[in-house]
Amino acid sequence: MVTPVGLDTEASWTGLIKGKSGIGLITQFDDKSIPTQIAGEIHGFEPEKYIELKEIKKMDRFIHLAIAASQMAMDTSGLKITPDNADRVGVMVSAGMGGLPAIEKYHKLYLERGFRKITPFFIPMLIINEAAGVLSIRYGAKGPNISVVTACATGTHSIGEAFRTIERGDADAIIAGGTESCICPLAVGGFNAMKALSTRNDEPQRASRPFDKERDGFIMGEGSGIIVLEGLEFAEKRGARIYAEVIGYGASGDAYHITAPAPNGEGAARCMKMAIKDAGLSPLEMGYINAHGTSTKFGDELESIAIKAVFGVHAYKIPVSSTKSMTGHLLGAAGGVEAVISILALDRGLLPPTINLDNPDPECDLDYIPHIAREVQADVAMSNSFGFGGTNACLIFRRFRK
């Protein structure tokens, strides 16, 4: 992970468990006319630690973050891609919005100084699948190379589709997840225009407050979360350190509205039920849910309703948290980062909290692990992601046991 809470996996995890907020005043641009002046920025990130200096300027920041997170994942996994296995190792890493900052920058240069000021790397900087393309080239991975783009569900769908690809025998291992970095005037202004963002500028660290009655919108963030996913036989044969097992995946569509979730969270509920059925679980076996929990009024309410529709009275016994309370909403990277968080929660027996939950919304009445992380050795975790356009994705992980 690379997140607003930490520059690497361990720093991010430690910050999340301590309830650290990564939200602050925006430093990447200065436009006081936009009502929202806060975001979850990553401060101190040094792309030169992961990328040759001459290559850095050829990529937009969302690709830099993907390279960093993938390097952490590959180093941890110990996976070596060789000519013998290269065509069996794929990459499924994507973003929701991609190189929007590059579009802003070079459109401005074009208008001011003409066509010749457009860099020849402009198109590769902005297209979303270049994150996967660059990683494939970097590691020599010649298997399936696909970018699934589903707004805020991108990272979760990427891992889910990687799971399916390995399951059907088209690959042995896939580098999978999400990345995003578009804290720029067009994006922040655009989300403001649709009144989706918080304007709690005087209290940045308290602004992202999922399930709280005083929430007033989500906070944009940037980051990347990537895992190395392998078939069990392939992983065991090479002696891999296995953190968790993917056992279920669900994907559904609301067929309702371009931005609003379906009434009563119907699409989200179907998605969760699909994942549970795919995993062969009883709903009673669910031990933790990393909620989509964006800090929007209807999103949080309807996800809570959907969880109750799926799990019945057992919903009140399942610890649920939204780590977006600390990271902000990482858009296309959210599902990748939250998959890593869910996996580490199982592996380490610690469930991250929902911070800023001071005055719970009566419509949101589940156990959201308020304020303080909880020591619980859960065996099964679900990670939820829901995106504009009515796209839903759920992953279920199980603590690995031989």
Q: Which of 182, 329, 364, 394 is catalytic?
A: 329
Q: Which of 152, 182, 184, 394 is catalytic?
A: 152
Measured distance CA(93)–CA(176) in Å, rounded: 5
| 204 Cα distance to chain centroid | 21
Q: Which of 182, 271, 292, 394 is catalytic?
A: 292
The one-character DSSP state at 315 is G
The half-sphere exposure of 279 on its side-chain side, counting CA atoms within 13 A, is: 27
Measured distance CA(354)–CA(266) in Å, rounded: 24
Q: What's the helix, strand, coil split of the chain in %, to 5? A: 40, 20, 40
Write b or e for each residue in 292-328: b if 16 or more Cβ atoms lie within 10 A of its Cβ, otherwise e: bbbbbeebbbbbbbbbbbbbeeebeebbbbbbbbbbb
Measured distance CA(341)–CA(13) in Å, rounded: 7
Give the H/E segment covering residue 188: helix 185-193
Identity of residue 51: I
> Do 298 and 261 form a contact (C-beta atoms < 8 A)?
yes
64 noted as active-site residue: no
For tokens 């990328």, name the residue: 51
> Do 291 and 210 form a contact (C-beta atoms < 8 A)?
yes
Overall residue count recorded for the chain in this entry: 402
157 noted as active-site residue: no
Measured distance CA(402)–CA(400) in Å, rounded: 7
For 273, the token pair is 């039920």
For 254, the token pair is 């609301």
Q: Tell me the catalytic residues.
A: 152, 292, 329
